[in-house]
Chains A and B, each alone.
Chain A
Amino acid sequence: MSELIKLTGVQKYYGDYHALRDINLTIDQGEFFSLLGPSGCGKTTLLRTIAGFEGVSSGTVMIAGRDMADVPPNLRPTNMVFQSYAIFPHLSVAENVAFGLRKSGMSKADKATAVDEALTMVGLAGYGARAAHALSGGQRQRVALARALILKPKVLLLDEPLSALDKKMREHMQVELIRLQRAVGITFILVTHDQEEALVMSDRIAVMFEGEIGQLADPETLYRRPNSRRVAEFIGKMNFINGTASATDEGAKVLVPGLGKCTIPAEQFPQGVTTGEVAIGIRPETLAILFEGDKAPRHEAEAVVDEVVYYGDMTYYDVRVSEVEKPLTIAMKNLIGRPVLDVGAKTRIAWDERSLVVF
Chain B
Amino acid sequence: MAARLSAEQKRGIGLVAAPFSYAIMLLAVPLLAIVLFSFWTQDFMDVDTTFTLNNYREIVEKPIYFSLLQRSLYVSLCVTLVTVVLAYPVAYFVSFKVHPSRKSLWLFLITIPFWTSYLIRVFLWKVILGYNGVINSGLINLGIIEEPLTFILYNVNAVIITLAHAFAPFAILPIFVALEKIDRSLLEAAQDLGESKLMTFLRVTLPLSMPGLVAAVLIVFIPTIGDYVTPELMGGAGGKLIANMIQVQFLQLNNAPLGAAIAIVAMLSVTAISLLFVFLNRRWLRGRS
A and B interact physically: yes
Residues of A within 8 A of B (CB): 51, 53, 72-75, 78-80, 82-84, 86, 88-90, 92, 99-100, 102-103, 131-133, 147-148, 151
User: B interface vs A, CB < 8 Å?
Assistant: 183, 185-186, 188-196, 199, 203-204, 207-208, 284, 287-289
A72 to B195, CA, bound (A): 10
Q: CA A74 – CA B193 in complex, angstroms?
A: 6
Which among A84, A99, A132, A133 has the highest number of chain B CB atoms within 10 Å? A99
Closest 5 CB pairs of A and B: A133-B289, A100-B193, A86-B189, A86-B185, A131-B287
Cα(A100)–Cα(B190), bound, Å = 8
**What are the residues of chain A within 8 A of B194 when measuring CB–CB?**
74-75, 100, 102-103, 151
Given A86-B186, A90-B288, A99 and B193 contact (CB-CB distance below 8 Å)? yes
Q: How far is the CB of A104 from chain B (nearest CB, A)?
A: 9
The minimal Cβ–Cβ distance linking A29 to chain B, given in whole angstroms, is 21
Residues of B within 8 A of A131 (CB): 287
- Most chain B beta-carbon neighbours within 10 Å: one of A82, A89, A92, A133: A89
CB <8 Å contact, B287 and A132: yes
In contact, B192 and A73 (Cβ under 8 angstroms): yes
Please, which residues of chain A bring their CB within 8 A of the CB of B208?
Answer: 89-90
Inter-chain CA distance A86–B192, complex, in Å, is 11
CB contact under 8 A between A133 and B193, given known A86-B183, A86-B188: no
Q: Cα distance A102–B185 when bound, in Å? A: 20
Q: How far is the CB of A201 from chain B (nearest CB, A)?
A: 22
In whole Å, how far is A172's beta carbon from the nearest beta carbon of chain B?
Answer: 24
6 additional A-B residue pairs with CB within 8 Å, beyond A53-B188, A102-B194:
A79-B192, A89-B208, A90-B207, A90-B287, A90-B288, A147-B193
- Cβ of B287 and Cβ of A133 under 8 Å apart? yes
Residues of B with C-beta under 8 A to A53 = 188, 191-192
A79 close to B287 (CB less than 8 A) = no
Q: How far is the CB of B157 from chain A (nearest CB, A)?
A: 37
Q: A80, B189: Cβ atoms under 8 Å?
A: yes
Chain A residue nearest in CB terms to B210: A90
CB distance from B228 to the nearest CB of A (A): 39
Closest CB of chain A to B34's CB: distance in Å?
A: 41
Residues of B within 8 A of A73 (CB): 188, 191-192
Determine whether the beta carbon of A99 is less than 8 Å from that of B287.
no
Residue A74 contacts which of B183, B185, B196, B288 (CB distance < 8 angstroms)?
Answer: B196
Q: List 21 A-B contacts (CB under 8 A).
A: A51-B192, A53-B192, A74-B191, A74-B195, A79-B193, A80-B188, A84-B183, A89-B186, A89-B287, A92-B287, A99-B193, A99-B203, A100-B193, A100-B194, A100-B195, A102-B195, A102-B199, A103-B194, A131-B287, A132-B287, A133-B288
CB within 8 Å for A88 and B192 given contacts A131-B287, A133-B288, A133-B289: no
Choose one: A51, A99, A133, A148; the contact of B190 (CB below 8 Å).
A99
Which B residues lie within 8 Å of A88 (CB)? 186, 189-190, 204
With A and B bound together, what is the CA distance between A90 and B289 in angstroms? 9
* Beta-carbon nearest neighbor of B185 in chain A: A86
CA distance A121 to B221 in the complex (A): 49
Q: In the docked arrangement, what's the CA distance between A51 and B188, Å?
A: 10
Q: Closest Cβ of chain B: how far from A14's Cβ, in Å?
A: 14
Q: Using Cβ atoms and an 8 Å threshold, which residues of chain A touch B199? A: 102
Residues of B within 8 A of A74 (CB): 191-196
**Chain A residues near B186 (CB-CB < 8 A):** 86, 88-89
> A51 to chain B: which residues have CB within 8 Å?
192
How many Å lie between the Cα of A347 and that of B207 in the bound state?
Answer: 69
CA distance in complex: A262, B101 (Å): 62
How far is the CB of B286 from the nearest CB of chain A, in Å?
Answer: 8
Measured in the bound complex, the distance between the Cα atoms of B196 and A83 in whole Å is 22
CB distance from A149 to the nearest CB of B (A): 11
A89 touching B185 in the complex, CB below 8 Å, given contacts A99-B190, A151-B193: no
CB-CB under 8 A from B196, the residues of chain A are 74
Q: Known interface pairs A88-B204, A133-B287. Does A82 touch B195 (Cβ–Cβ under 8 Å)?
A: no
Name B196's closest neighbour in chain A (CB-CB). Answer: A74
How many angstroms between the C-alpha atoms of A132 and B289 in the bound complex? 9
Instruction: Output the least CB separation between A177 and chain B (Å).
Output: 18
Q: Name the CB-closest residue of B to A72.
A: B191
> Shortest beta-carbon distance, A26 to chain B, in Å?
23
Contacting residues, chain B, for A133 (C-beta < 8 A): 287-289
In this complex, what residue of B is CB-closest to A98? B193
A210 to B203, CA, bound (A): 38
Question: In the assembled complex, which residues on chain A have CB atoms less than 8 Å from the CB atom of B191?
Answer: 53, 72-74
Distance to closest chain A CB from B187 (angstroms): 9
Q: How far is the CA of A84 from the CA of B194 in the complex (A)?
A: 19
Q: Within the assembled complex, what's the spacing in Å between the Cα atoms of A82 and B190?
A: 11
Contact across chains for B288 and A89 when beta carbons are under 8 A apart: yes
A82, B289: Cβ atoms closer than 8 Å: no
Q: Which residues from B are CB-within-8-Å of A80?
A: 188-189, 192
How long is the Cα–Cα vector from A340 to B151 in the complex, in angstroms?
95
Which of A53, A74, A92 has the most chain B CB within a 10 Å cutoff?
Answer: A74
Q: Which residues of A contact B289 (CB under 8 A)?
A: 89, 132-133
Contacts of A147 in B (CB 8 A): 193
Which of B185, B192, B203, B284 counts the most chain A CB atoms within 10 A?
Answer: B192
Nearest B residue to A75, CB-CB: B194
Residue of A nearest to B284 (CB): A90
- What is the distance, in angstroms, from B285's C-beta to the closest C-beta of chain A? 9
